[in-house]
Amino acid sequence: MSNAAFKSRDYYAVCNELGVDPYFPLLFITGVYQPRDEDYLRRNLYARRAWPHHILKLLPDQILQKMNCSPSYRFNEELVFETDPSAGDYWCNGAEFKIRRLTDIKNQEMLIEIAEELLAR
């Protein structure tokens, strides 16, 4: 994560809500991401890597003001957010996701269960 990322008050609020260290949060995030422009996402490696920034609110204030997020972030619960179209084509429409503690994933069977959950969508 860049140093600029750590300037987001909203990111710190998410980390505080989850009770994780903002500099090394050890999170495993899965879900369905809804890009505004799928072709752009396919062509742009940076955009594909940036989706956690949306979910963890590591975005500029002018974009955060256009996001509607789940009221609170909790582990192992379905969470959602949507972004107003006026935010521009680079940003996503929204996402449905779950945040897990990386340290809670103990074996391959747990990863298989998570993968099956994603494929069932």
Q: Which helix (H) or strand (E) holds 42?
A: helix 38-43
Which pLDDT value is given to residue 75? Answer: 96
Residue 37 and residue 98: Cα distance in Å, rounded?
Answer: 23
Residue 89, pLDDT > 80, answer: no
Which pLDDT value is given to residue 112? Answer: 95
Q: For 10-34, how does the pLDDT look when each residue is reduced to its tens digit (9 = 90+)?
A: 899 999 999 999 999 999 999 988 8
pTM > 0.75: yes
Q: Which helix (H) or strand (E) holds 43?
A: helix 38-43
Q: For 60-81, how does the pLDDT look when each residue is reduced to its tens digit (9 = 90+)?
A: 888 888 888 888 899 999 999 8
